[in-house]
Each structure stands twice: as C-alpha cells, then as structure tokens.
Amino acid sequence: MSNYFSNKVVKVKNRLIGLGQPIFLTAEIGLSHMGDFGDAKSMIKSAAEAGCDGVDMFMASSNDFYFAPFAEDNDTRKVWDEQSFTMEQWQELFALADELDIVLYITPLDTVSMRRAVELGTPMINMNSDDINNLLMLEEAAKLDIPITFHDINASLAEVEAAVATLIDNGCKDLIVLHSTQESGEEDSLYASANLNVINTYRAAFGGRGVLSGCVEHTTSDFLIYAVAAMKPVLISKHIQVSSEKNVHDANISVDIDALSTMTKKVRYVEMALGQGNNQKVVDKDGKLSFGSIARRKVLVAACDIPAGKIIENNDLVAKRPGRLGGLNPWSVRQLIGSKARQAISQNTLLNMNMFEDYQELQYKYPDIEAIHVESTDNIQGA
C-alpha cells in the first residue's frame, strides 16, 4: 500500500528536506541577474539574510539549449551568452553561498550545463518543466547521485509519473516533485489555475516510492505562497529580483529582494501556526496558564441551597465562571450525581469533593472508546 506521506528525508549540504522539517525555502534567481555578476551576488546575500534555505540559478549552454534564434534580429543564443557567467564566476558564487550558509544549486537547461554544474559541485539540481519528457537528460541526471527536483508546468500526471519512474529506475535516490503554479497575472485565471491540490495528488501517487512533494509559486499573487505553505510542501521556490526595472525575464512573478525578508518571515509564521497536530496549552515561561485562560474556565457550584444528607441530582449542580478560584472540573458532575451532601451547601458555593460522600467511582476511562464486538476476547491482549 502506498504511504500517502513519505517519511523520506533528503539531506542537501547541512539542510534536511522532508515532512517534519522546516519548509526548504528557495529564492529562485533564475536569470533575473541579467548577466550582472554584482546583482547575482546581491541576490544570494539577500536570500541568506532573509532566512531562505537555498538559491536556484539557471545555467545554459546556448548552442545546446537552442537550435535556432527566435528571429534574425534577436538571436536568443547571443542573449544567453551575454547573460551567462564564466566557470570562475560560478566558483565565486558557490564560495559566497558556502560563506553565507545558504545552498546554491543549479537548474541546468541542457546536458552540457548539467555536467558543468556537477563539476562546480552543485549539491542538488532542479530540472525545468521542458525537460520532464527529455528522456536522455532524465537518465543522465538520475545517475548523478545528488538530489533532484523537477517542475511540472503543463505536464499531465502520466508525464510526471513517467519522469518519476525514469529517474528512480535509473538510480535517483532523492527526488522532489514540484507542482508549479502557472505564470499568470490575470486574476480570473491566476487562482483557478493554481490547482494547489496537485501537491496532495503527488503525495498520494508517489509517496510510497519515497518521493517528496513541493511547489514552485509562479503567480503574481502577493499571498498565494502562504496558502502553499499551509499545505506543508517540503520545498517552496519563489522567483526573486533586485528590482522589476532590472529584470526583463519574469519581473511580474518575482519578489523584490527588499520584500524578501517579510515574505520569508510570514511563511515561517504559517509553519508555526500549523503546529504539530496535537492539542496544546499556552503557558508562560514558568509553565503557568494565563490569568485570562484560567478565569474563563467553568467550575462546579451549587445551583441552589442543598441541605445536608440530600442525594444530589442534576438540578443541584451547575457550571459557572470563573475558574481562577479553584474548584472542580465540570466533568466531575459524573461522580457527584447520586452522592450525598455531607453538609448544608448554600447556592453558588464553590464545590469540592469533601462536601460529599458516597460519590460515584468512575470507570478507568471516560468517555470510553467505541466497542468492536467480537465472538471472544480471550485472544485479544495488549502489551
């Protein structure tokens, strides 16, 4: 049976990615540096200062990425060459990331770039959605023995499943499937097309194979990322930029680095708010409930004057505020009904067990759990 929530934990440098771990928050630089080496360094620094876990950058070898220009007067290959970095510059960026304790990893857009990224020591690679059916690149990536993430823009579940199977069958041990929201700024389509429940679909479909699920938040919304965080993906990626004026590629879906700290902090607040799923009391540093929390609790008091020796009935008892004066939890009514008053008790008197005798002895557990009826219980034992 498939394990809906995979217990897999992926280690990338000194970060752990998986359920029960903090969301791995990636600031996706992509190509928003526009070839400006100083801006690339500024974005890495800003991401680290904002509390992000990783930064993701594109790498492409123009002749291996494109076979033809879009137009004769706009040679796309030339643009990529102008906005790419040398291996020495890449080495400096990786050294900077190490110094700042943030994980820099690469989205290689072709096999040549993937080999260069590995040579540089990228601790993880992200595969773009246009490589989800690139069998040759999938098979080569699977053999790298590093974690892999991949996007799913406009991919069917069958294509995603085929990519997952290809990667795992060719040796990939650590895989995170990223559902990508569409690069949309139209309000009527932005939210309808986000389709965040696909994250849950991936958990159900691939969790049993140890595959984790995350999200790339690609929309122009300034709050959808917090809804994504509430779904507990193991990784969230969001585009960043120095400013929209300096980014012609994806300015409308990117967060300015000046706003990145606020976004990161709010994602962490959402994580805190989700909690661990077990009921908890809010106490101060000494382990005590607040005055208000205690005061608004109800306790048992006499609903009327009760003479000594009276057998207690339902209408003799009532639960009222405040609880800050002590008293009996209202559940204690189960013990008191049918007991005998040892003394005269005035209306509105705060009750305690010493005022009664012959009170009911409760069963071990209340309320009881639902019974399962079987022919015999002789062979049913607990540890």
CATH code for position 102: 3.20.20.70
Both tokens assigned to 91: 């080495």
Domain assignment present for residue 279? The answer is no
Q: Are residues 242 and 301 in the same domain?
A: no
DSSP label at residue 355: G
Same domain, 256 and 339: no
For residues 196 and 324, membership in a common domain is answered with: no
Q: Residue 240's CB: how many other CB atoms inside 10 A? A: 27
Number of compact structural domains in the chain: 2
| 349 assigned to some structural domain | yes
| Average pLDDT of the chain to the nearest whole number | 89
- Which three-class secondary structure state does DSSP give residue 259? helix
Residues 347 and 252 in one domain: no
**pLDDT exceeds cutoff 60 at 353:** yes
What is the pLDDT confidence band of residue 184, given thresholds at 50, 70 and 90?
Answer: low
What six digits make up the tokens of 77? Answer: 């290959």
- Asked whether residue 88 falls in the same domain as residue 198, the answer is yes
CA nearest neighbour of 233 among 246, 247, 216: 216
Tokens matching residue 196? 């965040």
> Long-range contacts of range 189-192, CB-CB < 8 Å, 24 or more positions apart?
190/219, 190/220, 190/221, 190/224, 191/221, 191/224
DSSP annotation of 311: B
Indicate whether 286 belongs to any domain: no
Residue pLDDT, tens place only, 338-352: 999 999 999 999 999
Residue-by-residue DSSP string for 69-130: -SBTTB-HHHHHHHT---HHHHHHHHHHHHHHT-EEEEEESSHHHHHHHHHHT-S-EEE-GG
Phi first, then psi: give them for residue 265, nearest 5 degrees: -60, -40
Q: Are 4 and 203 in contact (CB under 8 A)?
A: yes
**206 and 64 share one domain:** yes
Higher pLDDT, 325 or 211: 211
Question: Do 195 and 296 have their domain in common?
Answer: no
Contact by Cβ (8 Å): 140, 172: no
- The answer to whether residues 169 and 194 belong to one domain is yes
Tens digits of per-residue pLDDT, 299-314? 999 999 999 999 999 9
Q: What is the pLDDT of residue 293?
A: 77
Whole-angstrom distance, CA of residue 158 vs CA of residue 168: 15
- Residue pLDDT, tens place only, 126-160: 999 999 999 999 999 999 999 999 999 999 999 99
Is 4 a domain residue? no
How far is residue 171's CA from residue 17's CA, in Å, rounded to a whole number? Answer: 19
Q: Does some domain include residue 366?
A: no
Residues 236 and 120 in one domain: yes
Asked if 351 and 298 touch (Cβ cutoff 8 Å), the reply is no
Taking residues 1-14, report their average pLDDT: 76
Pair (312, 340) in one structural domain: yes
Q: Is residue 283 in a domain?
A: no
Residue 171 and residue 303 in one domain: no
Domain that holds residue 353: 291-357
Measured CA to CA, the distance from residue 266 to residue 225 in angstroms comes to: 9
SS3 of 353, please?
helix
pLDDT of residue 210: 94
Q: Choose among 44, 165, 45: nearest CA to 106.
A: 44
Instruction: Output the pLDDT for position 2.
Output: 44
Query: How far apart are the C-alpha atoms of 383 and 380, rounded to whole Å?
Result: 10
Task: Say which CATH number the domain at 330 has.
Answer: 3.90.1210.10
The residue to which tokens 């992509």 are assigned: 30
Instruction: Return the percentage of the chain with pLDDT > 70, whole number.
Output: 92
Which pLDDT score is estimated for 5? 56
Are 197 and 165 in a shared domain?
Answer: yes
